Amino acid sequence: MISIAALIGQVFAIVLALALAPLLTGWVNQWRAWLQNRSAPPLLQPYYTLHKLFHKDVVLAHGASPLFRFAPFIMFGCMLLACGIIPSLSTDLPFAPAADALALVGVFGLARLFISLAAMDIGTSFGTLGARREMLVGFLAEPALLIIIFTVAMIANSTSLATIVETLAYREFAIYPSLAFAGIAFTFVSFAENARVPVDNPATHLELTMIHEAMILEYSGRHLALIEWAASLKLYAYSCLGIALFFPWGIGERDNFLALVAAIPLLLLKLGIGGMLLAIIETINAKVRIFRVPEFLGTAFLLAVLGLLVRLLLEVRA
Amino acid sequence: MNATPLFAQLINLFAAVILLLSFSMLAQRRVIQLINLFALQGFTLFLSTLVVAVNTGQSHLYWSAGLTLALKAMLLPWILHRLVRQLQVKSEVEPLVNIPTTMLIGIVLVMISFNVALPISQLSSAIARGTLGIALAVVMLAFLMMITRRKAITQVVGFLSMENGLFLAATSATYGMPMVVELGIALDVLVGVIILGVFFFQIRDQFDSLDIHHMERLKDN
């Protein structure tokens, strides 16, 4: 039976994700501005943007099919589901059995599929261009992400995220070299998936370089708000996934309500540090050419495979 | 696996870092960065030797750890940096095979070495015997780097990195070679680099370039 406490924890985790995701984006933007000697936008700017967009009317292109209107909702729903099944505060999530780590990759893939279809639906050249590039990035990033998850799943002997976090957070102390490889590969993949600098620039509308922005050029009003919010949620979900896989200490155990409360400041701290690091890495790297992206993600894939091999050689047989 | 002591875990970690550095050297496009990565690899090797030394208490291992630090993490990178400056080498590494393909070949080499090393490492009684596979992989990757690079200087870095791999195998799988052998190898490498440095100048004077492909057309006349 699902306990009331677990249900509260689940709802709380989702509400927290909804509330915190734009804050994380704002925090990253602020750090980026500081590091680049610009005056920073307010921390709450993403909320103002969302508020503004939700109050504007939607302008639809002439050729828009219903798919174009549904896609933002599907994308938002996918990201919300992802935030619901990634253990951020507690491992006791009633939603967690709905999807394990592999299905999570599928959920991200579903969101990508629909937003790309919607971008092509309108028939503008930018939309199609963005969708193609997004598919290229996605098709290279997904296998790397899967192998990272396999590596971690081999340590925990389970693909369920809750079990993985429980194994990693409450084990006796051990150094896993394979996790180091997987961690670096995961960093690469999350930069690609979240349209951050070495692969895509979230702040540009420069036609030659944009990927994510090119796909959503035709959106406006509440649709755009949902997409922006979903992008924030995606960043939040990836950050939480990274924390859950590689720095799980402090995530609350089952049936421990106090730990849930104690996990909140710790999560905020980890997200704060993560956002800062993200901004630093983005600032010290230049955006790579689109044809260098396969190389970037190929490296991520190779690192992930190396992690898996090291896991097999050093940790299983030793 | 829970019985693996902390120091063996540390050695495994350092071995994995050395492997990682080997791969980043394969992927590196700039000569200066390549040398820095090599210095970092030498430093990691020093750390792993130090861990073995502390845990086995063999005094000669302290010596070889110190030697590693002085030679591979400081002196050799410094010599290489100086060579690059004096020779005014172009900063781009010119690989014969493009980098993603090299990396793919690298992964295959790692798999092969892991499998080859497995039966050998089971004969060893040392606690960190799993690192033998990694050491072999580092040697193979260094070979790959020597084969796929055009410039003489990157080939020397490959040669030195191969020596790192051999040293890792020696310390982690058998707790070090005899002192005499280690000293001999260290001096060999040092002298080798110095002689190769002289060679570089000769090659450049002769061909105005460090591309060793010019040397395929050498003739006696």
Whether B16 and A299 lie within 8 Å, measured CB to CB? no
Report d(CA A299, CA A297) in Å as an integer.
Answer: 5
Whether B23 and A181 lie within 8 Å, measured CB to CB? no
pLDDT per residue as tens digits for the range A144-202: 999 999 999 988 888 888 888 888 877 666 778 888 889 999 999 999 988 888 888 77
For residue B105, the chain A residue with the least C-alpha distance is: A302
Cβ-contact A17, A29 below 8 angstroms: no
Report d(CA B63, CA B41) in Å as an integer.
Answer: 18
More confident residue, B6 or A84: A84
Q: How far is CA B168 from CA A163, A169, B56, B139, in A?
A: 36, 32, 16, 10
Q: How many residues are given for chain A? A: 318
Domains of chain A, by residue range, sit at 4-316
Measuring CA to CA, which residue among B141, B48, B69, B170 is closest to residue A177?
Answer: B48
| Residue B92, strand partner residues | B30
Q: What is the pTM (predicted TM-score) of this model?
A: 0.85
- pLDDT averaged over chain B? 81
pLDDT per residue as tens digits for the range A13-42: 899 999 999 999 999 999 999 998 989 889
Give the residue from B2, B6, B11, B12 with the most A CB atoms within 10 Å of its CB, the best one to mutate: B12
Give the residue from B10, B103, B122 with the most A CB atoms within 10 Å of its CB, the best one to mutate: B103
Domains of chain B, by residue range, sit at 6-217
Is A90 buried (19+), middle (13-18) or exposed (0-12) by CB count in 10 A? Answer: buried
Query: Which residue among B2, B6, B23 places its CB closest to the CB of A306?
Result: B23
Cβ-contact A122, A63 below 8 angstroms: yes
Six-digit token string for B177: 């070679």
pLDDT per residue as tens digits for the range A234-259: 999 999 999 988 888 777 766 667 77
Cβ-contact B62, B179 below 8 angstroms: no
* Residue contacts between A and B (CB atoms, under 8 Å): 73
Phi first, then psi: give them for residue B95, nearest 5 degrees.
-80, 150
pLDDT exceeds cutoff 70 at A289: yes
Six-digit token string for A203: 């702040």
- pLDDT averaged over chain A? 87
pLDDT per residue as tens digits for the range B155-207: 888 888 888 888 888 887 777 677 777 777 777 888 888 788 777 777 777 77
Predicted local confidence at residue A186, as pLDDT: 94
For residue B28, the chain A residue with the least C-alpha distance is: A299
Coil, strand or helix at B92: strand
Predicted local confidence at residue B126, as pLDDT: 62
Amino acid at A209: T
Percent of chain B with pLDDT over 90: 10
Q: Which residues of A touch B100 (CB under 8 A)?
A: 294-295, 298
Cβ-contact B33, B3 below 8 angstroms: no
Amino acid at B199: F
- Nearest chain B CA: its distance from A240 CA (Å): 25
Q: Which residues of B touch A175 (CB under 8 A)?
A: 6, 9-10, 12-13
Alpha helices in chain B (DSSP H): 6-27, 31-56, 59-68, 76-87, 99-123, 131-148, 152-174, 179-207
Alpha helices in A60-160 (DSSP H): 66-85, 101-122, 125-156
Q: How far is CA A173 from CA A151, A170, A260, B4, in A?
A: 18, 9, 22, 11
| Residue B30, strand partner residues | B92
Whether B20 and A181 lie within 8 Å, measured CB to CB? yes
| Residue reference for tokens 């296998």 | A143
Q: Which residues of B touch A312 (CB under 8 A)?
A: 114
Report d(CA B138, CA A318) in Å as an integer.
Answer: 19
Q: Which residues of B touch A298 (CB under 8 A)?
A: 100, 103
More confident residue, A63 or B144: B144
pLDDT exceeds cutoff 80 at B127: no
Q: Which residues of A touch B (CB under 8 A)?
A: 172, 174-175, 177-178, 180-181, 184, 294-295, 298-299, 302-303, 305-306, 309-310, 312-318
Amino acid at A208: L
Around Cβ A305, how many Cβ atoms within 10 Å? 22
Predicted local confidence at residue A18, as pLDDT: 93
For residue B9, the chain A residue with the least C-alpha distance is: A175
Whether A302 and B106 lie within 8 Å, measured CB to CB? yes
Coil, strand or helix at B151: strand
pLDDT per residue as tens digits for the range A98-123: 778 889 999 999 999 999 999 999 88
Q: Which residues of B touch A178 (CB under 8 A)?
A: 16
Amino acid at A306: L
